[in-house]
Structure 1
Amino acid sequence: MIEYGHGTHAGLRRTDNEDTYYADAGSGLFLIADGIGGYRQGALAAALARDAVVEGIGRGEDLFAAVQAAHRHLLELAKARDVLPLGATLAALRITDGHYQAAWVGDSQLYRWRQGLDRIVHDAHYAAERCPALGTEPERPPQRRNAATQALGMPRREPLQIGLARGDAMPGSGFLLCSDGLVDALDEAALARIMGRTELAAQECVDHLLLDALAGDAADNLSAIVLRIS
């Protein structure tokens, strides 16, 4: 059984919220998309990325293929409309049959809770998108390089790097997906402190994360999804 909570807030310095998310225990799909600042229609880009991944999963694609398709969709849409790039970062998680598959592009974050908080990116490998216009050779970049340079929908000379991880999703474990605004406002010790409060429901964990972030600087949009497996 998957218990989950979710929430988002524009933050203390912004009037627009360019984060969006999707959470569905039935399909086991959870994701957060963050529209790239500095480009027009960031909220639209995030929503388009979200919908493209959801549609890909609905077609029976695996998570990596769905993220690839979302990237191509944003590129093609911006070209067809002759507009500035529609860019978004993404963190996505799929839970099926006691296992998880995670995929991300950019600085949206994924954590696993199991007697402590672990950033999933630490255990990940990277795969190059196999798109003729972008190249075909996989490579592994230095740790965290993708955080500032990778985004769905951004034209690139080199392949897009999609972070990938797989593992067990056993009873007693949990997951946190969040936009970079939350991890900028709260350090990992603060995240772990809240995730470790097992007396709280998943939605209460999300509420505490957002409230604690808003009690500080919270300069960016904030989004979080908390999952617990039982």
Structure 2
Amino acid sequence: MTPVSHGSKDDHSQERAVPVRARSHASRDAIVQGALALWRTKGFAETTVTDICKAAGVSKALFYVYFARKEDVLMEMEVFTMRDAHLAAQAVASRPYALADMIKAVIEVLERNMRRYPPELVFEAVIETYRSERRALAGGATDADLAFLFLDPFQQAHRDGRLPAEADVARTARVAQMLVADGIRDWAAAGYTAHPLAEPLAQEISTLIDGR
């Protein structure tokens, strides 16, 4: 059967939907920005959902429409930016390179982005990432599902002969990602350091991969 057209009724529904979606995005953004402002001044542990709602000018009921916990707001803040990291890896792969060069480029992007946030917030983001991965593993996730940071770059490196032909690319990418997470956690726990994170960590990971 041919669907029945409702004429202008559908048109008016679409017109109403646009501002509703706009308000929805505005409320979500207000929650994220309110939380970030509080975390910068009050710290993550001392900030409650009530505090965030007051800062954002929303009700707790609306908060829970978008987020189950304040940790979920943390994961919205894109402390770890995958898209830019992958673009940096692609730029490295466009010229002669070693695997350590690609790893360093990815970590450098993360390092630059993380320095915009308080160390405590980055530390909490790493811990929440661990929890998220644990839940994913309990649900049957594989190395390929979880190796989002290095899977695409390492697949390229494998095609380019920078990884052994027999390498398990997904597993190698997962191991590299876990090492980066541990490195970031320690770096953030120390309040960041004057020394760059990317180069020594990239060399360590590359050496371990070569040893495998």
Using structure 2 for the length normalisation, give the TM-score: 0.31
Higher helix share: 2
Which of 1 and 2 has greater Rg?
Answer: 2
Using structure 1 for the length normalisation, give the TM-score: 0.29
Higher strand share: 1
